[in-house]
Amino acid sequence: MGQEESHGEQVDLAQIQELCLTFMKECPSGALHLHEFKRIFGVPNRSAEESLYIETIFNSFDTNKDNTLDFIEYVAALHLILRGNLEDRLKWSFKMYDKDGNGKLDRQEVKRLITILYKIKLQKTDISMTPAEICDRIFELVDQNNDGRITLSEFMEGAQKDEWVMSLLKLDVNASSWVIQNCVKMP
């Protein structure tokens, strides 16, 4: 835990500065709204699943829940996505799964995000399980006390014990490449 995660592409300070300049150009008011976030990352013309996924990401970074990202929230998001260590990325992933914010994941929350991920990218892999089967398998491997809920500590420990679980629980495995690729297309 706490070790640096290796990224397929290294992100340098100049790229982060460019993303921050883009924020200031696109959002002179200092507030980035969901529709602007989607436009910046090229989501409006993509699938409903990708749109829902980007909304989930946006909401996870909106720490004060005012339906906008201010500059500090934006920079924190960039830092986590582009340079965050494994522990921080797992905590962020847990937060994305935890839709109701109660600190525990139930089957409905896990299945919701797995279903979105399945439609975006998992169905294109060699995984032959349905989203419900994937959810059941995650609970079998991660829910240590079998209470039907996954705590943050169970999530962190379970993800690090099994590579398959890690690949499903640690969201946006190649996020830095995705951000770099999509930010190149920004207006």
Residue by residue, pLDDT tens for the chain (187 residues) are: 333 444 434 456 777 777 778 788 878 888 989 988 887 766 656 677 778 888 888 888 898 989 999 988 888 887 787 777 888 888 888 988 898 889 999 999 999 888 888 777 655 666 778 889 989 999 999 999 999 999 999 999 998 888 888 877 766 544 555 455 555 444 4
All domains of the chain, ordered by start, with CATH?
13-84+174-184 (1.10.238.10), 86-169 (1.10.238.10)
The alpha carbon of residue 166 and the mean position of all alpha carbons in its chain are separated, in whole angstroms, by 13
How do 31-33 and 68-70 pair as beta strands? antiparallel
Question: Which SS3 state, helix, strand or coil, does residue 69 take?
Answer: strand
What Cα–Cα distance (Å) separates residue 16 from each residue in 30, 80, 135, 136, 158?
17, 12, 35, 39, 32
pLDDT number for residue 67 = 94
**57 torsion bin: left (phi>0), alpha (psi -120 to 50), beta (else):** alpha
Write down the pTM of the prediction.
0.72
Residue 46 in tokens:
């993509």
Contacts of 73-76 with CB under 8 Å at 24 or more apart are 74/20, 74/23, 74/32, 75/20
